[in-house]
Amino acid sequence: MISRRRFLSMSSAAAAFVLPVLKSSRAQAQTALPKRVVFFHTPLGTVREGWLPTGSETSFTLSPILQPLAPYKDRLLIIDGLAFDPIAAPSGATTGNHKEPGSMLTGRSCEGRDEASKHTNISVDQWLKGKLPSSVRVKSLELITAYRSDYSLRADRSLFSALGPNLPVIPEADPQRAFDRTFMGVTGAGGTGSMPDPAAERLRLERKSVLDTVVKELTGLQPALTGFERAKLDQHLTAVRELEQTFQPPTSGTTMVQAGCVVPSRPAAVPQYEMGSLPARLKSHLQLVAASMACDLVRVAVVGSENGQGRASPGWLGSGFDTNWHDAFTHNTTGHSQHQAIHTWYAQQFAYLVGLFKAVPEGNGTMLDNTALVMFSEQGCRYSSSGPSEHSHAQLPYVVAGSCGGHFKQGRFVSVGTKSHKDFLFNCIRAMGFSDSTFGNVSGAPLPQLVA
Amino acid sequence: MARSLVIAALLSVACDGSIIAATPGASAGPPGSTPPMVGGTGGSGSETGSGGSGTGGGATNCESAVPPARLWRLSHAQYDLTVQALLGTTDAPAESFELQAAGSGFQNGADTSYVSANLAQQYFAAAEGLAAAAMRAPAKVLPCTPASPADTACVKRFIDAFGRQVFREPLDAARAATYFSLYQSASTPARGVELVIAAMLQSPYFLYRRELGAPAAHGATVPLTSYELASALSFLLWDQGPDDALLDAAARDAVPGEVERLLADPRAKGFAWRFFSQDFELDRISHLTKDVTVFPAFTDALQADLSAEAEAFVNHVTWSSTGTLSELLTADYSLLNARLGALYGVTVSGSAFTKTALPSGQRSGLLTQAGLLAVHGDDRSGSPVQRGLFVRSNLLCQEMPAPPPNVADTLELPGAVKTTRQRYEAHLQNPTCSACHKLMDPIGFGFENFDGIGRWRTTENGVAVDVRGNLSTTKTIDGPFTGAVELGQRLASAPEVSDCVATGWFRYALGRVETHGDGCSLATVRAKFKDSGTRLSELVRSIISTPAFNQRVKP
């Protein structure tokens, strides 16, 4: 077998010519700092009474679940009242349970019967990715903490991102693979940026010839196809051209880095199916998101955690948790405190992410100033007071950290009444600097209550 | 594959107990793109199955619309097996490719499989690695050794011959010239050959199965070309590309004459397992997680054995016995080694899997294999809901609706009551729950002789288990039953179960959900399967004879 290690040694052949982080526009113009958005998912809905802050918009007390975010309270926008809106469903589709993940970022319900149901729109992260300049090399990360062969991820509608209807983006679960894909051939501060040696240059040209041949094959096949089949082939062509770009030579004689760019070392391997490996995988994912954004390789990221029917066993929270969470703590009346403990743990992880962004200097402040870190769940509040657990589509819990260049209010707890979750996606679009009132086939407008 | 709620569904069950004809095709076409080929009126093709005459076109009240031309990306398994056959390697680079879209309920559905930026990079790295490895023993792929870049004859022979194998059809002169100029761009002849291999392995002619037919006018119905048909057959039966003999037959337009050879070839050995491992979710056995405090016996080694048992059993039935669905659902034996013998309560020695009679009256084929029972269970116990849902959706092809939003889904934790059945019976007391759960749980109760990892039991927490179950809302097999053996026999006798498995296989073979236009094709397949006494090889033969399989409409 060709082991992953062997492929990596091939990748390091690719890195034989060192590809420095390319200068982005901000290096020339301090005013144009990159903006970024990160969607951080917490599964299975939260515990309402443990999540909802008390007090007014400007003077509020953090709930127990959100306590880990207390150090960043003045940077938070806590949003209550977003809901799956039936209008988000295409006509004839049902907003049935289990379709939520694939609907969260597309703004539109997945269509079709349960596990065979499919995305009906491009997701906002992929739409934003398409708007980014080519100088941002990797552009987006789609990460997940569970493996596809786990029960929940076997259906396409469990995936957050899509390139369009029927085109799910498969997230990466393996930290090392995600790292290799992002940082292959990149050196940060102190990178040499020297001209490539002749052997490396020859390799680069040979690879270009190979990919040129592949492009020729793809374009030769295009005329035989129309509609969706043609779109699939076009996507393949785009992917190969993106790959070709990564083999472009570095600009000669320049060593360019973002101020806060530190290329991290390759993360440790995380066992694939071992219970309890989720925290290590999530932490690695969060570090990759922060590091890649600090180097301006990436501006959009989605970090999914085992989705709606995730079966992780959060044994790291202590005895009594070493069983699959979905089965043990959601479909019953007694899982209330465990569910709250799990979501408190997720808030801790989100606080860790906020801390990573706040630690990267940028402009006159930190990277957090120019980022929206969005913590959300694909379901509403799972428990209310002592009531039963619900598969709720209302009162989705959202927390935004960072204003993304001034768009989002900070230090606020805002109740929006009842608004469609898709409207929030337009806040993200606006925050990222785009004035569009549609993405894909979804139209909307940002919620003014959230805007600073 | 996980289609527990999905797949079968030609019928939906409303929770008032009525069966409603669903609309095939509702989810078949990519939203926002070309609509599926659905006729304007008429009943759903699904309902014609039981009355189908077996002649397809002669079946009444069904529709026949040929599906559109398409590309179908190789699955990761197909990629590995195919490059292994092409290059004589044991490398399996696709094992670390990105995960596959689920599409129609089976891995790698045709609708949702495409090449992402990530996958393109992985194809690139794999192709480089495979090409480099191939050049360490170039005689395997080269018909001759190019002496110098000027030795064009040898290289052109190589491009034609190897290209025909990689692309599963001959290259035309223009494409051959493209590869030849790539060869010439390299610094040495060996490097040139290596680049050609690397590029061919990233070509869409390699990565996709083409189902385009010969050039024709827009809207024309055309048969798959002989080469396309050869690929379609070999990927369905062997999960890999055609061999030389099959390509030679394609050159003579004699592919249909190859079917029996393909079916008899050792490469076809897993054809039934590949379907059932996904359809019954048996591919999940090896990485299930259970609460180790409740099931300390559920070790990695046991899981590996249970997975191997299921595969050995399906292969045994297919190749050494009747080859029927009926036997898969009712066999009173399995293929066991010593460790599994202990689990099943029989004496077996050694680590090899040998055919072993199971304790009388306890088990009924795949339905009661410990692996399948463990898959359809919870972390700490068996699940009558999941087991009942499995029968309802995967064997009766009735889709259960997902639980509605904003509904309380509470259930007592284990320990509050004595038996699993008692715990789940709470569902049936609550009218909100029972509307749907009465269609699942009473079937699942029939499996109460098996704990969460499929071990036989007659008591649970000191209380005798109650294995009385009930089938309702079926076409022909309603009524009470006692225990899984009776349930298995009832299911194996039911035409609707053979229709359901035929439908699943139809989807698997085509990589998509059926549409109204497949109505006549599907009716024929179901009728032939039934008439053959549920022989799986006959099921496959009938699928490959349908227009849905072997014809396309030009875009």
CA–CA dist B35, B515 (Å, integer):
10
Average pLDDT, stretch A220-225? 93
Q: Are residues A76 and A212 in the same domain?
A: no
CA pair distance A12, A22, nearest whole angstrom: 19
Whether A327 sits inside 8 A of B70 (CB atoms) is: no
Task: Find tokens 């393996």 and name the residue.
Answer: A174
Query: A36 with A176, same domain?
Result: yes
CA atoms of A428 and A301, how far apart (whole Å): 12
How many Cβ pairs closer than 8 A exist between chain A and B? 281
Residues A169 and A230 placed together within one structural domain of the fold:
no
End-to-end CA distance of chain B: 31
From the centroid of its chain, how far is CA B486? 27
Residue A181 has pLDDT above 60, yes or no: yes
Which of A123, A144, A206 to probe by mutation at the B interface, max B CB count within 10 Å? A206
CB contact under 8 A, A391 and B71: no
Chain B residues whose beta carbon lies within 8 Å of the beta carbon of residue A115: 2-7, 102, 105
Q: Is residue A1 part of a domain?
A: no
Residues A160 and A35 in one domain: yes
- Measured between beta carbons, the chain B residues lying within 8 angstroms of A330 are 409
> What pLDDT sits at residue A385?
55
Long-range contacts for A85-91 (Cβ within 8 Å, ≥24 apart)?
A85/A419, A85/A420, A85/A421, A85/A422, A87/A420, A88/A420, A88/A421, A88/A422, A88/A442, A90/A120, A90/B31
Question: What is the phi-psi region of residue B25: left when phi exceeds 0, alpha when psi lies from -120 to 50, beta otherwise?
Answer: left
Per-residue tens of pLDDT for chain B, all 555 residues? 333 323 233 345 556 545 544 434 333 333 333 333 222 233 333 333 333 333 334 456 788 899 999 999 999 999 999 999 999 999 999 988 887 776 666 777 888 788 988 899 899 999 999 999 999 888 888 888 776 667 789 999 999 999 999 999 999 999 999 999 999 999 888 899 999 999 999 999 999 999 999 999 999 999 999 999 999 999 999 999 999 999 999 999 999 999 999 999 999 999 999 999 999 989 889 888 888 889 999 999 999 999 999 999 999 999 999 999 999 999 999 999 999 999 999 999 999 999 999 999 999 999 999 999 999 988 888 899 999 999 999 999 998 877 666 666 666 555 567 888 888 887 788 787 788 889 999 999 999 999 999 999 999 989 999 999 999 999 999 999 999 999 999 999 999 999 999 999 999 999 998 999 999 999 999 999 999 999 999 999 999 999 999 999 998
Other beta carbons within 10 angstroms of residue B531's beta carbon come to: 14
Angle, CA A6 vertex, CA A5 and CA A7 arms, to 5°: 90
Touching B: A residues 374-393, CB under 8 Å? 387-393
Sign of the alpha-carbon torsion through A238, A240, A241, A242: positive
Single out the residue in A231, A249, A267 at which a domain terminates.
Answer: A249
Show me where the domains of chain B are located: 1-69+225-268+495-555, 74-209, 281-492
User: Which backbone phi and psi does B237 adopt, to 5 degrees?
Assistant: -90, -30
Q: Are residues A99 and A28 in the same domain?
A: yes
Residue-range definition of the domain harbouring residue A217: 197-249
Specify the pTM.
Answer: 0.79
Inter-CA distances, A85 with A88, A120, A317, A392, A449, Å = 5, 15, 34, 12, 18
CA–CA separation, B42 and A198 (whole Å) = 69
Query: Measured on CA atoms in the order A383, A387, A388, A394, is the torsion positive or negative?
Result: negative
Q: Tell whether A5 is covered by a domain.
A: no
Cα separation of B243 and B168, whole Å? 9
* A313:B291 CB<8 A: yes
Q: Please indicate, yes or no, if residue A438 is contained in any of the structural domains.
A: yes
- Beta carbons of A7 and B96 less than 8 Å apart: yes
Q: What are phi and psi of A180, to 5 degrees?
A: -60, -40
Query: Do residues B176 and B156 make contact, with C-beta atoms less than 8 angstroms apart?
Result: yes
Give the best residue of A148, A229, A241 to mutate against chain B (max B CB count within 10 A). A229
Overall domain count for chain A = 2
Q: What is the pLDDT of residue A109?
A: 83
How many C-beta neighbours within 10 Å does residue A253 have? Answer: 8
Asked if A313 and B289 come within 8 Å (Cβ–Cβ), the reply is: yes
Q: Which of A214, A222, A274, A379 is the mutation pick for testing B, counting most B CBs within 10 A?
A: A214
Write the DSSP symbol of residue B456: B
Do B219 and B553 touch, CB atoms closer than 8 A? yes
On the CB side of B497, how many CA atoms lie within 13 Å of its CA?
Answer: 22
Any idea how long chain A is?
Answer: 452
- Residues 324-353 of chain A with CB under 8 A from chain B are 324, 327-328, 330-334
Count of CB atoms within 10 A of residue B301's CB? Answer: 9
A216 lies in the same domain as A338: no
Q: Is A197 exposed, middle or buried (0-12, 13-18, 19+ CB in 10 A)?
A: exposed
ipTM, 2 dp: 0.87
- The span from the CA of A206 to the CA of B127, in Å, is 13
Looking at the fold, whether A439 and A311 belong to one and the same domain comes out as yes
Region class of A261: left (phi > 0), else alpha (psi between -120 and 50), else beta: beta
Look at B178 and A213 and tell me if their CB atoms are within 8 Å.
yes
Same domain (yes/no): A233, A353:
no
Among all chains, which residue has been given the structure tokens 């009747």? B322
For chain B, say whether A116 makes contact (Cβ under 8 Å): yes
Crossing angle of helices A175-183/A278-294, nearest 10°? 10
Question: Do residues A338 and A278 share a domain?
Answer: yes
Structure tokens at B528: 């032939």
Partners of B380 on chain A (C-beta within 8 Å) are 323, 327-328
Q: Which helix (H) or strand (E) holds A443?
A: strand A442-443
**Which residue in A has a C-alpha nearest to residue B91's C-alpha?**
A1
Q: Looking at the structure, do residues A117 and A218 belong to the same domain, yes or no?
A: no
Of B440, B389, B394, which Cα lies nearest the Cα of B17?
Answer: B440
| Cβ-defined contact of B117 to A225 (cutoff 8 Å) | no
Same domain? For A112 and A245 the reply is: no
Query: What is the chain B residue with the closest CA to A144?
Result: B99
CATH code of the domain containing A63: 3.40.720.10
B contact test, residue of A4, A10, A113, A234 with most B CBs within 10 A: A113
Whether residues A260 and A218 fall in one domain:
no
Question: Do residues B401 and B433 lie in contact, with contact meaning Cβ atoms separated by under 8 Å?
Answer: no
